[in-house]
Structure 1
Amino acid sequence: MYAWVYILSNRPNGSLYVGVTTDLAKRIWEHRTGTIAGFTKRYGINQLVYFEGHDDINAAIQREKTVKGWRRAWKVRLIVKDNPDWIDLYETLME
């Protein structure tokens, strides 16, 4: 995959952050270590709870915008469909 749309949370059913990147492992590491100032650092949002790959960066950016515009319940449903226990998926990136 060339680009990734991802959702971070600080706990199950906690605050959510939707982002897009071309280097998922690096970007999540940046969120986890607090090297990125802003919303995720301020609220401790550093657990990867959902991600999806795209072959085209423009498609990923459009998907990110779409998901960001969704109601919270729709985002939660997207997460729970593949990750019902809200497990931090960061470690799966290292496999």
Structure 2
Amino acid sequence: MIHGSIALIEEACTSCMICARECPTWCITLTSHQEQTVPAPGSRPRTHNVLDTFTIDWALCMYCGVCIEQCPTDALVWDGAHVPSADRLVDLLYDRGRLVRRDGA
């Protein structure tokens, strides 16, 4: 696989934040909130994290792949498409809408 950019498989992300913590350039930011699941009869309620925002700053990313290697749920993958150049730094901030892998691969 060409190391062009990183894609997010949103349904696999558990918002554990390992990718953001392990990134050597701190180019990944994410926010999440907790939701409570409906317990089965006789069990206690459980909570799980729900992803709110996920952003990669391509101006800071050095394409090392540490985030992909460290993700315990394989929610980050190499995508063949290169990140296009931009005239403004703000245009290199990709939110989860631009990072989500849509081809189902």
TM range (shorter): 0.3 to 0.5
Give the TM-score, by structure 2 length.
Answer: 0.31
Which structure has greater helix proportion? 1
Bigger Rg over Cα: 2
Which structure has greater strand proportion? 2
Give the TM-score, by structure 1 length.
Answer: 0.33
Question: Which structure carries more relative contact order (alpha carbon 8 Å, separation 6+)?
Answer: 2
